[in-house]
Amino acid sequence: MKLPEAIRTLRENTMACWWPDGPYPGKQGTDFAGIFGEVRTLLHGIMARQDIPEDEAFFVLDEGNPETALYNELVDAVLTVKRCMA
């Protein structure tokens, strides 16, 4: 996944603040902690709806469930953004 696609995915699926062009009342730049926290919550919700414990180290998502595609897309987006930030 390329960075523009990753950012688009995160913008479409989170409500966290995206201000890449500088300060906004009380904020400097994008709230990555908020974005990653919201994605983590979304991923845990998808796992819970598929009856996978939150602390499960290894698991397989149901490929027939449409949320599995969203799970994979969100994980790819987060990894892409974090790699670009490093």
Where b means 16+ CB within 10 Å and e means fewer, 16-46 reads bebeeeeeeeeeeebbbeebbebbeebbeeb
Closest CA to 47 of 74, 15, 9: 74
**Number of domains the chain contains:** 1
Q: Is the pLDDT of residue 31 over 80?
A: no
Give 32-65 pLDDT, tens digit per residue: 888 899 999 999 999 999 999 988 889 899 999 9
pLDDT of amino acid 17: 67
What range does the domain containing 42 cover? 3-85
The whole-model pTM stands at 0.81
